[in-house]
Structure 1
Amino acid sequence: MEGLVVRHPDVAEYLAFLEKERQHSPHTVTAYGRDLDRFTEFCGHHYGGKWTWATVDRLGLRGFLADEQRRGLGKRSAARSLSAVRSLYRFLQTQHGLAVNVTRGARVPKQDRRLPSYARRGQLDQLFALAEARAADDDFIPLRDLAMLELFYSTGMRLAELTGLNLKDVDLLSDQVKVLGKGRKERILPVGSKAVAALRRYLAVREEVVARKGSQRQAVFVSRLGKRLAPRSVQRAMRGMFQAIGADGLRVHSLRHSFATHLLDAGADLRAVQELLGHASLSTTQVYTHTSVERLKKVYHQAHPRA
């Protein structure tokens, strides 16, 4: 099923609803759009050109999910595809009076819960040493990248939360920042002393950059042109540092995982970590305890005489 897909008007309406009414992130809306475009394309091939939402039956839904798996999607992606179709049908029921919901009772493929990857302490020492060395001359880009690295690990914030930071959200006198998380929920995060120091150094040189005409003065992290830094640019900057220390497997999100894992390793309360991460469910945070338990098992087997 290749080629240009014309977006179904009901799908377009639903995505606009997610963005404007539910205030979902652009990343989530884009991902749902791709899933639903594939679903409508499948329905067009499977049922013919005059299909409707009521035409779709359970057999067709299973065919779509099977087609998703044939495309090589993992269980998490297949589960999201079904979730997208299910939420679309609920929207059509409430907004357009659709009488049937083919997704009711449909089973989401069972997901394997993956342990999150995180940076070891030795890797973090290397990362910070590298970033500090690059920033020694107080140049704009190295200072900015050092501040981002410190802030990611100090707070555990998400990529979108960092790029969305505005100056009014940063309170260096109180050592805290305010972030806007998933579901447009605000939370206040404490910032460690090293991250505060890195931010002060960066903000001092940032002033000259944002003084230019057309700059986005409210944005904390900006490009050389004074524009708010895009997530992709942050990923590129962090990836360059990861590769420089030979840690190609690390990602920006690995710093968030490291933040949570190291807090739990040090005995932090699980619910406190949940609040810091902005997780709606405690079960989402509990995945980090598995990593800590594995570490404890290793220590036990190395040290206990009868292990």
Structure 2
Amino acid sequence: MPTRSFASFRPAPRRIEDPPSPDALFTAFLSSLSVDEGAACAVLYSAAVRHFLSWLGLRGIALETLDDHVAHRFEKHRCRCPGYSAQEPAYKADLAARVRRFIRFLEDQGYIVVADGIDDLGGHLAAYSHQIDALQLVEALSGAYRSEAEHFAIWLRVSRRPWTEVDEGVIEQYAGHYCRCPAFRKRGKLASSGMKRRRRFIRHFVAFLRDRGAIAPVEAKLEVHPDVAAYLGWLKQHRGATDATIRRYRPEVDRLIAMLGAPVLWDAAGLRSAFARRSKETPGSVSLLVTIMRSFLRFLIGQGQCRPALLHAIPSVQRYRLSTLPRYVDPATIERIISACPTDRPVQIRDKAIILLLARLGLRASDIRDMRLDDIDWRSGHLIVKGKSRRSERLPLPQDVGDAILTYLSTARPKAIDRHLFLRAHAPFRSLSSSAEIAGIVARTLERSGIEGLPTGSHIFRHSLATNMLRAGAGLESVGTILRHSSPETTAIYAKVDLPMLMKIAQPWPGDLSC
């Protein structure tokens, strides 16, 4: 059910002539509300508006200067107006709410000129409504999206804020504002859950307006150290680093600057102390920490801000790449996992197609998350995969995988404008947000199959595919091609998992023989 509103959102030309008499103005106001003059609602509006007009006349306030500040003064005034008596605070709040609707009517009629800083707001709201319809949300949720967008537009006008000033700070003020806006909705201050809901809906609407070019994007006003900014730009332009790599490097570099200060003051003792502190905080990322610190030091040395000898202050970390065996699952267990995938509901059909892609092609979770409808060539039976190397690879599409995807597309995939292959099963129908969602699908499938003791991540299928291919007689080059490894050394870790072959070439242990 659409929310009732008193806002037209159409730009009104400025009225040159003087406003009509209070009676004529009030009659036009009731007509805009679609309220009969004899109704009880009309009586309440009549008392509020006539009291307000009388109060304006006593204080000499012109109609064209009305805003929310004037309405607030009227709400808080100690009534001594002729013909009117003092009222209770709760009633005065309702009185002011009706007055604010009257002020909005004057704005829509052009008696009060307001510069919103946006063109065709009504058209943008209509386009936003169509986009919400395309998401196929339930009626209550879609109505909430539309209602909150209109409420935000009303609040901006009431606050006399132009759309050009909308940023995260303005959204936060809206989320926590004490509502007295001229629209049908809950009054007062919302609970924390309601504020969170407001914030989420308005961020969605503001992002929609920015995508349409209706309002200019607001750049994040974050204080970035000049050396850090130069380093991140160097990674992007000269080293070809991806956005994900830059996001991972930046927090560590920021912490390093915060701990040691300006790079010109760095020394070996300070670097070692910072490294020891960070390695204790994140023991599982020590190798990456060494890589980041050395990369930043090389950049600073190249810029002449650090002594070259400081590069040797970062200790080396021993990494034994071949010290453990990759965990894998035998082919019989893989088939058991696949057979445990039901296909009674749309979400189960989607999950089975994802499990088959993991098991048959050894794809990464990120590969499946980013896969789009155009990546499948049905005529040639190929699948285009964009991996971590940022280049496209063509892989053969097995028959059972193709059948599962086709079943999902024809019977289970929601009709949505999103071009990603796999979408969420419930509205709003968007793509999977992260690889963790695919890991959750794997965990639910393993639990359903009753198999215990296996990792719940999706990478277990990748390790299993490589191991089973080697045991079936495939070469390392073939395995590397299927898994899309850029270096043969990465594929070489699977050479040690063929234990029967290793047993044939293993030499007896010398025992107690002397060296």
Same fold (TM over 0.5): yes
Contact 1:119/1:250, CA 8 A, preserved across alignment = no
Instruction: Using the TM superposition, give the Cα deviation of residue 222 of structure 1 relative to its aligned residue in structure 2, in angstroms.
Output: 0.8
- Cα distance in 1, alignment partners of residues 393 and 330 from structure 2: 27
Question: Which amino acid is 1:67 matched to?
Answer: R
Instruction: Using the TM superposition, give the Cα deviation of residue 8 of structure 1 relative to its aligned residue in structure 2, in angstroms.
Output: 4.1
Contact 1:117/1:257, CA 8 A, preserved across alignment = yes
Instruction: Using the TM superposition, give the Cα deviation of residue 257 of structure 1 relative to its aligned residue in structure 2, in angstroms.
Output: 1.1
Q: CA-to-partner distance for each residue in 1:192-235, whole Å, 9 max, x for gaps?
A: 2221111111111245x1x24xx41x101111232111222212
- Cα distance in 1, alignment partners of residues 306 and 233 from structure 2: 22
Question: Which structure 2 residues correspond to residues 4-43 of structure 1 after superposition, within 5 A?
Answer: 8-12=225-229, 14-15=231-232, 18=235, 22-24=240-242, 26=244, 28-43=245-260
SS of match in other structure, 1:111: coil
Question: Which amino acid is 1:79 matched to?
Answer: S
State the partner residue of 2:388: 182
Contact 2:297/2:306, CA 8 A, preserved across alignment = no
State the partner residue of 1:85: 293
SS of match in other structure, 1:189: strand
- Cα distance in 2, alignment partners of residues 183 and 19 from structure 1: 15
State the partner residue of 2:455: 249
SS of match in other structure, 1:177: strand
Contact 1:118/1:250, CA 8 A, preserved across alignment = no
- Cα distance in 2, alignment partners of residues 10 and 121 from structure 1: 52
Question: Does residue 128 in structure 1 map to residue 335 in structure 2?
Answer: no
Contact 2:334/2:359, CA 8 A, preserved across alignment = no
Question: Which structure 2 residues correspond to residues 18-167 of structure 1 after superposition, within 5 A?
Answer: 18=235, 22-24=240-242, 26=244, 28-43=245-260, 51-71=261-281, 73-74=283-284, 77-93=285-301, 96=303, 98=305, 100-101=307-308, 102-103=310-311, 106-113=314-321, 114-131=324-341, 134-135=342-343, 137=344, 139-167=345-373
Instruction: Using the TM superposition, give the Cα deviation of residue 7 of structure 1 relative to its aligned residue in structure 2, in angstroms.
Output: 6.1
Seen in structure 2, the aligned counterparts of structure 1 residues 18 and 297 have a Cα distance that, compared at 3 Å, is same
- Cα distance in 1, alignment partners of residues 264 and 443 from structure 2: 47
Question: Does residue 235 in structure 1 map to residue 452 in structure 2?
Answer: no
* TM-score, normalised with respect to structure 1: 0.78
SS of match in other structure, 2:283: coil
Give the percent of matched residue pairs that are identical in Structure 1 and Structure 2.
25
Instruction: Using the TM superposition, give the Cα deviation of residue 115 of structure 1 relative to its aligned residue in structure 2, in angstroms.
Output: 2.6
Instruction: Using the TM superposition, give the Cα deviation of residue 150 of structure 1 relative to its aligned residue in structure 2, in angstroms.
Output: 0.5
SS of match in other structure, 1:249: coil
Instruction: Using the TM superposition, give the Cα deviation of residue 297 of structure 1 relative to its aligned residue in structure 2, in angstroms.
Output: 4.1
- Cα distance in 1, alignment partners of residues 273 and 374 from structure 2: 50
- Cα distance in 1, alignment partners of residues 249 and 373 from structure 2: 32
SS of match in other structure, 2:421: coil
- Cα distance in 2, alignment partners of residues 7 and 248 from structure 1: 44
Seen in structure 2, the aligned counterparts of structure 1 residues 266 and 15 have a Cα distance that, compared at 3 Å, is farther
Contact 1:35/1:84, CA 8 A, preserved across alignment = yes
Seen in structure 2, the aligned counterparts of structure 1 residues 143 and 17 have a Cα distance that, compared at 3 Å, is farther
State the partner residue of 1:46: none
- Cα distance in 1, alignment partners of residues 484 and 350 from structure 2: 25
State the partner residue of 1:304: none
Stretches of structure 1 lacking an aligned partner (at least 5 in a row): 1-5, 44-50, 302-307
Contact 1:23/1:183, CA 8 A, preserved across alignment = no
SS of match in other structure, 2:266: coil
Instruction: Using the TM superposition, give the Cα deviation of residue 289 of structure 1 relative to its aligned residue in structure 2, in angstroms.
Output: 1.0
State the partner residue of 1:219: 420
- Cα distance in 1, alignment partners of residues 316 and 358 from structure 2: 33
Q: CA-to-partner distance for each residue in 1:80-129, whole Å, 9 max, x for gaps?
A: 111112222334455x5545343358453011224322223233122101
Q: CA-to-partner distance for each residue in 1:53-80, whole Å, 9 max, x for gaps?
A: 2322333232233223323613xx2111
Stretches of structure 2 lacking an aligned partner (at least 5 in a row): 1-222, 507-515
* TM-score, normalised with respect to structure 2: 0.49
Seen in structure 2, the aligned counterparts of structure 1 residues 281 and 58 have a Cα distance that, compared at 3 Å, is farther
Instruction: Using the TM superposition, give the Cα deviation of residue 157 of structure 1 relative to its aligned residue in structure 2, in angstroms.
Output: 1.8
Contact 1:89/1:103, CA 8 A, preserved across alignment = yes
- Cα distance in 1, alignment partners of residues 381 and 453 from structure 2: 30
Contact 2:294/2:311, CA 8 A, preserved across alignment = yes
SS of match in other structure, 1:184: coil
- Cα distance in 2, alignment partners of residues 25 and 176 from structure 1: 28
Question: Which amino acid is 2:364 matched to?
Answer: R
Question: Does residue 265 in structure 1 map to residue 468 in structure 2?
Answer: no
- Cα distance in 2, alignment partners of residues 158 and 17 from structure 1: 29
Q: How many residues align?
A: 276
SS of match in other structure, 1:236: helix
Deviates more, 1:193-202 or 1:51-60: 51-60
SS of match in other structure, 1:103: helix
Question: Which amino acid is 2:440 matched to?
Answer: R
